[in-house]
Amino acid sequence: MSPVPQFFAEYQARVDVELRRLVPAGDGRVEQSMAYTLLAPSKRVRPVLTLLSAELCGGTVSRALPAACAMEIVHASSLILDDLPSMDDSPLRRGRPANHREFGEAIAILAAFGLLNLAFGAIAREYQPPLAASLAGLLSTAIGVEGLIGGQSADLLATEQQITFEMLERIHRRKTGALFNASATAGARTAGASSSQLAGLSAFAKNLGLAFQIVDDLLDVEGDPAETGKAIRADARKTTFVSFSGVAGARQLAMELCQTADRALAPFGRRADRLRALSAFVAGRSL
């Protein structure tokens, strides 16, 4: 068992309050469907990464909060799409039936688009033009062909195919690493970070994101659905870090990536200890 670090709770609570403020309040099916996945129990790792990165660069939680929530909203959108029958066809997410199982496929797709739209709207409304434009561009890159969409497409095409380790790594650096990178970078940008601070945080987040995915693969094999909230062995038809390197090899790789991530924090000294705690959590997480 690897509990989320103690300090997480306060950040998660701030994120949850802001998400409730941002999500459309109506009781129509699509609003319900958006709120169903967005407000379901989650670790909120990406928005917490945004908030910690902002604070590390001298910014505040309040200023970074809308950007943090935009990251979580995009993540929730991607989970709905990922679970669809035409994608990973997963029955369970965040401890509940997947969105399309509860609302049907058509509403689930609309909810995913609704969430994406909500994320960009939040950035446009909550920040002034130079920063708003820079955050919107950051998010668009993370979602696009060099990010989630490209990674997911390559992942789907690789199902039941022989792929190399390099291909596998490139899939997940886009599918998972890109949003981690955007999350840290967004926080740093809301704080007016320097280019060297941005470079350090980006290196940290990219490696942490890949480690996070490797542990996700491990949990698919050894995890407890009561903790992960997801079906296990859902990736049996796919090449994963575990099918490539074995359980011990994948665990070692995740640990090494977390160490590489931590090295990028060296210039920040002890002020980055909360990010180090986040990486220790990722390396040992069971949920």
Interaction pattern, residues 178-207, with ligand GRG; x per rule: CB under 6 A? ------------------------------
User: Minimum Å distance from CB 267 to ligand GRG?
Assistant: 27
Nearer to ligand GRG, 127 or 212 (CB): 212
Q: Which residues, 43 to 102, sit near ligand GRG by CB under 6 A?
A: 43, 45, 74-75, 77-79, 81-82, 87, 94
Three-state DSSP at 46 gives helix
Contact between residue 186 and residue 70 where contact means Cβ atoms under 8 Å apart: yes
Residue 175 touching ligand GRG (CB under 6 A): yes
CA–CA separation, 63 vs 187, rounded Å?
9
Contact between residue 211 and residue 279 where contact means Cβ atoms under 8 Å apart: yes
User: Minimum Å distance from CB 266 to ligand GRG?
Assistant: 26
Among 33, 42, 197, 239, binds ligand GRG (CB under 6 A): 42
Among 135, 148, 154, 210, binds ligand GRG (CB under 6 A): 148
Piece of 181-189, 212-220, 255-263, 269-277 that binds ligand GRG (CB under 6 A):
212-220
210-220 b/e with 16+ CB inside 10 Å = b?
A: bbbbbbbbbbb
Q: Hey, what are 6's tokens? A: 């103690």
CA–CA separation, 136 vs 44, rounded Å?
20
Piece of 126-134, 147-155, 158-166, 253-261 that binds ligand GRG (CB under 6 A):
147-155
